Structure 1
Amino acid sequence: MSLEEKFQVLSVEFQKLQSTLAAAIEKRERLEAQLSENELVKKEFATLTSENTVFKLIGPVLVKQEQSEAKSNVNTRIDFIRSELKRVEGQITETETKQEKTKQELVAIQTTIQQQAQQPQQVQV
């Protein structure tokens, strides 16, 4: 495989990594928003008394729900979102590492191609 072909292949790979990274960052932002929302709900639950009624929205209908069950659901959701955030952060770090490595390879190949392009010119002069 020639240097130009290898450069093309790495360029495509680099673009794919950029897309993967952008998608992962977008997912992280969504998860952070969900986490924030659920933590607000958890704070609201902390202010409830035993006389307060909790309702859950299921489709277009509000259904009465036990406070303990609602609190448990929110805590479970928070734990899940945190673990998902941790996984996405790992994916982002891994993708950034791969992207940096690919970028370095691209620069090295580009430098080599430029040096090879200059060598014949220097011989003719």
Structure 2
Amino acid sequence: MADIQAKLQALSEEFTKLQQDLQDTVQSRQKLEAQMQENLGVKKEFSNLKEGEAIYKLIGPVLLKQETTEAESTVKGRLEFIEKEISRLESHIKEMQGKMEKKKGEIIQLQTSAQAAAPQAVRAQ
């Protein structure tokens, strides 16, 4: 019976670790989603610019003038990177959810076998 309890404890700890990892991954995805919305807003502002209007980039405490094509290219590159990262994290989240379901099944199976063995252990005493 102690062996089953030890296995159950180990499985529970693994499940808790998977839950924490999943939560961290979801938080990372949410941060990327916020960055994506911010960059989409910047891209939208670029479309509202009139010919010859200046774009400034904040670097530390200083605003530096930036070429329009360079600024648009930078934002486009950021958006592409963020989209790839979100996609990667989504597949990682699905993978982790699968692992959690498997672990949950193992815990339920072990609990069921422990409950079935408990009456037999009482009779043996």
TM-score bracket, normalised by the shorter chain, equals: over 0.9
Q: Which moved more, 1:112-121 or 1:79-88?
A: 112-121
Q: CA RMSD in A?
A: 1.4
Match of 1:102 in 2: 103
Say whether 1:13 aligns with 2:14: yes
Aligned equivalents of 1:42, 1:63: Cα separation in 2: 18
Aligned equivalents of 1:29, 1:62: Cα separation in 2: 29
Aligned equivalents of 1:56, 1:83: Cα separation in 2: 25
SS at match of 1:5: helix
SS at match of 2:64: strand
Spell out, residue by residue over 1:12-47, the C-alpha distance to the aligned partner (whole angstroms, 9 max, x if none).
100100000000110111111110110111011011
Unaligned runs of 5+ in 2: none
Match of 1:44 in 2: 45
Shift, 1:118, TM fit: 1.9
Match of 1:30 in 2: 31
Shift, 1:119, TM fit: 2.3
Q: Percent identity?
A: 45
Shift, 1:120, TM fit: 3.6
Match of 1:111 in 2: 112
Aligned equivalents of 2:15, 2:115: Cα separation in 1: 20
Match of 2:62 in 1: 61
Aligned equivalents of 2:13, 2:59: Cα separation in 1: 45
Say whether 1:81 aligns with 2:85: no
SS at match of 2:20: helix
Aligned equivalents of 1:54, 1:89: Cα separation in 2: 34
Aligned equivalents of 2:51, 2:121: Cα separation in 1: 86
Could you state the TM-score of these two structures normalised by the residue count of structure 2? 0.93
SS at match of 2:53: coil
SS at match of 1:62: strand
